Amino acid sequence: MADGPIAQLQIASHNVQGLNSPIKRRKVLDYYKHLKLDIIMLQETHFPSRYSPKFLHPHFPQFFLASANNKTKGVAILISKNHKFVKIFEHADPEGRFLLVKGMVGDHLYSLVSYYAPNRGQATFFDSLLHSLAQKLEGMIILGGDLNAAFDQGLDKSKPPRSQLTRPTKESLRIAKAIHTHGLSDIWRELNPNKRDYTHYSSPHNTYARIDHILTPSSLLPSIHKAQIRESALSDHSIVTITLKTGALGRSRGHWRLNESLLSDPIRVTELETALQEYFTLNKTENTSPEMLWVAHKAFIRGKLIQISTQIKREQRADILRLDAEYNKLKASHKKDPSKTPSSLIDKARLDLNLALTAKAEKVIRWNKHKFYTQAHKIGPLLATRLSPPIKTHALPKIRINPPRLIRPRY
């Protein structure tokens, strides 16, 4: 059987600086969905261990948390609904500093680690973390987190004009030694050996630093297709992403459901009525049975509804894409030369993008509240959904045959 296109996983690490606000949680996770991220390692979720959420976002139904007792620290790992993840092992730090999750995606074993280092003693924390997890890590090992320290003081920190090249500190040398001892690589730096880019901006010091990283064993480097630093208006930290080439993943197919709001829009209803009249006019012939005509019209109108929904989503995203591009352009210019790009312009662009994302998130939350208020105590679709068993994935990542061996389908 001929091989199909190579599947890819979009993996990200991001310090979100708190997700307790329902509106912020919704707009942040909507943004991750927009970026088409598959696995996300979060830091500073700020969920207290006693009141951790049971649900985050419909696009990320599987998530794992490590939380402290109070609303500080906290890390998480999110899995997109597009991939079936089977958890094998989980180890959460009770202080909310790190989280290890092992599981299968398709027929690949992954060890995912999200970590958040303290502001002091980063090298001690990092070395202790790697030693404590060394015997537990296997398969494709990916660590993502906020180390609160730069690996290379010269390349990973911006410097004021006429400043001298900063010498490596004892802390950075100890971190580099720990990474080398455990055979890990800083993916972004490996793919961008001489490039300057940063993940965090300190306003009091007017300096940038690259303190957020994704690390993997050196043996995994040939499978890494791309590494990027993406600006984020939702946090002071940028999003670090890598694209991992892997085999067929058994990507789950979505289940289409009618967007009932389309039937409340007179313009869309008229458009659907016109399309149906045209369909029956063109296809009602002597050679077409009424049964066939009726069955086929269902597929036709479903396609028309999907087309309209896609058009509406594209129009809604256009404004956010424009604001996002404007913010990224200003941020990139500010990184190169802070004196040429006033901070006020960046703050305004960031505010505009945040307002657009907030309006979208508030609309979704208002609709959900209205739906539960009007339908919570009635027999209807909401109750049926709650009572029905969860839909299992239809993807078959592997098949066992005789003689005993596994066959993985190619897509």
Q: Which residue(s) pair with 89 in the sheet?
A: 102
237 is known to lie in a ligand binding site: yes
Alpha-carbon distances of 187 from 76, 77, 162, 195, 387, rounded to whole Å: 21, 19, 30, 13, 45
Catalytic choice (30, 38, 93, 146): 146
146 is catalytic: yes
Give the closest residue to 29 by CA, choosing from 17, 16, 48, 47. 16
Q: Are 117 and 125 in contact (CB under 8 A)?
A: yes
Q: How would you class 327 by CB atoms within 10 Å of its CB: exposed for 0-12, middle for 13-18, buried for 19 or more?
A: buried
Token output for 51:
């009141």
15 is known to lie in a ligand binding site: yes
Q: Are 338 and 206 in contact (CB under 8 A)?
A: yes
Catalytic choice (32, 110, 116, 198): 116
44 is known to lie in a ligand binding site: yes
Angle separating helix axes 122-133 and 170-181, nearest 10 degrees? 10
59 is known to lie in a ligand binding site: no
116 is catalytic: yes
Q: Please compute, for residue 372, the number of CA atoms within 13 A of its CA located in the half-sphere on the CB side.
A: 6
115 is catalytic: no
Q: Are 64 and 76 in contact (CB under 8 A)?
A: yes
291 is known to lie in a ligand binding site: no
Residues 6 or more apart in contact with residue 360 via CB below 8 angstroms: 27, 30, 316, 320
Catalytic choice (237, 324, 327, 334): 237
283 is known to lie in a ligand binding site: no
Ranges of H-type helices in 337-380: 343-375
Give the closest residue to 262 by CA, choosing from 310, 321, 319, 297. 310
Q: How far apart are CA 226 and CA 240, in angstroms?
A: 11
Residues at the binding site are 15, 44, 146, 148, 236-237
Known binding residues for Mg(2+) are 15, 44, 146, 148, 236-237
What residues act catalytically? 116, 146, 237
